[in-house]
Amino acid sequence: MGYMNVLSLFFIQTVLLVVLVAETKAKVPAIIVFGDSSVDTGNNNVISTLLKSNFKPYGRDFEGGLPTGRFCNGRVPPDFISEAFGLKPTIPAYLDPQYSISDFATGVCFASAGTGYDNATSDVLNVIPLWKELENYKDYQNKLRAYVGHRKAREIIRESLYVMSLGTNDFLENYYSFQSTRRSQFTVRQYQDFLVGLARDFITELYRLGARKLSLNGVPPMGCLPLERATNIMGQYECLQEYNDVSMEFNGKLEGMASQLKRELPGFKMVFTSTTYDAFSQIIRNPAEY
């Protein structure tokens, strides 16, 4: 399944979710987003990277046909999730100077296209590393406390839904690229374990900072992304099975780590989804949790 198909599937499922969530009294004050191009809503516009999407045809289906820095025709999944929870229809990028803490209080995106769990991945295209996304989040917390007060800020931080979506670039931009040094340091299985360790540390830190509800997204079938198929000349442009196997194995390890963390961290609610479909069926089956 192509990546854009995943997004349209996501859209259909979101429509379903809007209806279902509207019927519950879900209490989610904000959606807070970390990750890569699958969820970036414009942070890369304001950093010095070549990896930007603030030009046409990006944004073709966005309100006013505006290229916002989202890597797709219209809105990205977190925008739909936000709307589904009765919040605003688009989530502002934290680095976008058009917005301020009054906007970010009900949803904010720290994601940066091209980034990964591994510091070496964000270096490839000079984008925002994950540790820096977390630094920006800490900065956000300070601003939030100044804006709504400590008590209310603590509540927003605790009740918000955190969304994480990244990992693809660690393999495709970094591990499997020609100039990668990671391949001489790790077998692909060891590299998966290394990334899962980084994901675990990141989530534990988010928890320590007050987060309690998290949706962790795995990677799509990486062998079926358009670029991978286009370069699979020997395989007649079919999906690359090897990369799809790596995706599945990595998702399995992320999922194992997620269920372990759920047991270890008191009061922590976490959904792991390797397909968008899973995300919705989980939320739909258990709406009271959100």
Ligand X SMILES: *[C@@H]1O[C@H](CO)[C@@H](O)[C@H](O)[C@H]1NC(C)=O
Report the interface residues with ligand X, using CB under 6 A: 119, 131, 198
CB of 202 to ligand X, least distance (A): 10
CB of 130 to ligand X, least distance (A): 8
101 in Cβ contact with 143 (< 8 Å) = yes
Closest to 137 in 3D by CA, of 104, 168, 99, 166: 104
CB nearer to ligand X: pick between 131 and 147: 131
CB of 116 to ligand X, least distance (A): 11
For residue 257, give both structure tokens.
Answer: 């780590």
CB nearer to ligand X: pick between 119 and 281: 119
81, 83, 243, 267 from 290: Cα distances, Å = 12, 14, 33, 13
CB of 134 to ligand X, least distance (A): 10
CB of 137 to ligand X, least distance (A): 15
Residues 232 and 225: their CA atoms lie apart, in Å, by: 11
Q: Which residue is nearest to ligand X (CB)?
A: 119
135, 192, 225, 255 from 196: Cα distances, Å = 20, 6, 22, 10
Q: 122 CB contacts (<8 Å, ≥6 apart)?
A: 112, 114, 115, 116, 128, 129, 130, 132
CB of 9 to ligand X, least distance (A): 33
Residues 77 and 3: their CA atoms lie apart, in Å, by: 12
CB nearer to ligand X: pick between 20 and 134: 134
Residues 219 and 217: their CA atoms lie apart, in Å, by: 7
CB of 184 to ligand X, least distance (A): 17
For residue 25, give both structure tokens.
Answer: 């009294």
CB nearer to ligand X: pick between 79 and 118: 118
Sheet holding 108-109, edge to edge: 108-109, 31-35, 161-165, 213-217, 269-273
